[in-house]
Amino acid sequence: MRTTAVDRPGAPPRTTMDMGALFSQREADRYTMHSRHLNEQMVRVLKTIGYDVNFCRGQGPYLYDRQGARYLDLLSGFGVFALGRNHPTIQAALRSVLDSELPNLVQMDVSTLAGILAERLLVLAPYLDKVCFTNSGAEAVEAAIKFARAATGRPGIVSCEHAFHGLSYGALSITDDAIFRGRFEPLLPDCVRIPFNDLGALEKALHERNIAAFVVEPIQGKGVNLPAADYLKGAAELCRRHGTLFVVDEIQTGLGRTGRFLAVEHWNVEPDMLLIAKALSGGHVPVGAVLTRKHVFDKVFDRMERAVVHGSTFGKNDLAMAAGIATLEVLTSEGLVDKAARTGERLLQAFAAMAERYELVHDVRGKGLMIGIEFGHPQSFKLKASWNLLETASKGLFCQLITIPLFKEHKILTQVAGHASHTVKLLPSLTISDADCDWIINSFDAVIADSHRVPGPIWSLGKSLMAQSMRPLPK
């Protein structure tokens, strides 16, 4: 008898299709499986910093480990869980797709759910006319680069220093981080980087009229860098004057994150293209979108033989569209955009008070529930020596001395806002409660207070990380 690949000795055993049961059977092996078959370095990182706690459940803004301990997640899957994990409305919408036997991905038809989601998104950005759906944020960036070149007939793309737009080739070409770019070069030609918040540099870059698009995050995710009051308006105006498309990457800031549906609403600007992704997924089904002006779209899809000139097999799939439709519904029905504004204000005030009290806290900034706490060089003699030692060993390592005790002692999962960054970033779900805010404020206060004690457990942790030559975690 012939054996097939699945019958062969060593092939995985036949298995249950109950994924919850399968997870329970094998979750204890996750680190071993990953070391063996996936990214071994990620497992090393988790074990080194003690994050290998075997999360077993996620609900709302919380994660639970195998012992049932509850963690408050301020990372929210890099921003996808704006509604929290496993929101019942998203789950119900997705189940209804599976139960309805919809004619998904016919390809030689058009998707009804995509039509509905596009219609609803465009109501929220009424100055734009067309939508192109993608499977990720980076794919939305790729589409924007292609559309801008097609619409203008120009090659150049301008982006900002410290920008992050994704890791596929086009997106990486306009991302500013040597660690991400190194070993993958050469990247796309004709990409120019200028300082963020510098209209003079933008004007100079646009001067020769060979730039298709200026792509910018309204608040930079790496570092939580805010634009000056007149920056985005000024940039839009410069782009208009030079025939360059003004493209705003709201993949992280969009869908309520900053206390407005779109962050650009804080500064009253209307981009030519808007990129969204992350939260639109409801945390369940990857999805992204480019919202654009009609004249741009028409330059790409200008005749029948070009009807499929850009797209992707899984783009507009029913599960992704349902996740997007349900996400917009929950944002509205639960008033999450206003809630993010209110909760964020409370947290910002509490952190600003800490900045007054603690010399290591240099700045607190953000909007809504995208908040950065920047640490910096201390004044007092006893702290200076320890800080300098740590910084010399590895720039930005100090932030790990905040995030690791937050995780281990206070059950708060948070992140450093970029490579070699001194900024700890909060990106919680928009649903966090007043009690969660107390949890955040009290925990940060306790850990930051500890970091001002030399000698003390925090600086001992620093020594041990230096010994293991830990580098700060990316993203």
Ligand X SMILES: Cc1ncc(COP(=O)(O)O)c(C=O)c1O
Which residues contribute to the site for ligand X (CB under 6 A)? 78, 136-138, 141, 164-166, 217, 221, 249, 251-252, 277
**Nearer to ligand X among residue 367 and residue 411 (C-beta):** 367
Least Å from the CB of residue 358 to ligand X: 29
**Nearer to ligand X among residue 31 and residue 314 (C-beta):** 314
Considering 81, 130, 177, 249, which one is annotated as catalytic?
249
**Nearer to ligand X among residue 280 and residue 470 (C-beta):** 280
Least Å from the CB of residue 475 to ligand X: 7
In our burial notation (b when 16+ CB lie closer than 10 A, e otherwise), range 445-470 reads bebbebbbebeeebbebbeebeeeeb
Of the candidates 175, 163, 188, 245, the one whose C-alpha atom is nearest the C-alpha of residue 212 is 245
- Token pair in block for residue 43: 């497992």
Least Å from the CB of residue 80 to ligand X: 8
Least Å from the CB of residue 447 to ligand X: 25
**Nearer to ligand X among residue 291 and residue 465 (C-beta):** 291
**Nearer to ligand X among residue 312 and residue 394 (C-beta):** 312
Helices (H), 334-373: 336-357
Reply yes or no: is the peptide bond before residue 12 cis, omega within 30 of 0.
no
Helices (H), 56-111: 76-79, 88-100
DSSP states along 116-171: HHHHHHHHHSTT--EEEEESSHHHHHHHHHHHHHHHH---EEEEETT----SSHHH
Considering 147, 164, 246, 407, which one is annotated as catalytic?
164
Minimal CB distance to ligand X: which residue? 137
**Nearer to ligand X among residue 249 and residue 318 (C-beta):** 249
Contacts of 160 (CB under 8 A, 6+ apart): 176, 193, 194, 195, 196, 216, 217, 220
Say whether 278 is catalytic.
yes
Least Å from the CB of residue 450 to ligand X: 30
Q: Distance of CA 468 to CAs 258, 397, 462, 464, 465, Å?
A: 37, 12, 10, 6, 5
Considering 130, 222, 278, 316, which one is annotated as catalytic?
278
Least Å from the CB of residue 141 to ligand X: 6
> 156 pairs with which residues across the strands?
211
Element (H, E) at 375: strand 370-375
3-state secondary structure of 44: helix
Contacts of 268 (CB under 8 A, 6+ apart): 233
What separation, in Å, do the N-terminal and C-terminal C-alpha atoms of the chain show?
51
Say whether 222 is catalytic.
no
Least Å from the CB of residue 173 to ligand X: 13
Instruction: Using alpha carbons only, give the angle 354, 355, 361 rounded to the nearest 5 degrees.
Output: 110
Of the candidates 323, 433, 432, the one whose C-alpha atom is nearest the C-alpha of residue 74 is 432
Residue with tokens 């009690």: 435
**Nearer to ligand X among residue 169 and residue 358 (C-beta):** 169
Give the residue numbers annotated as catalytic, written as ranges.
164, 249, 278
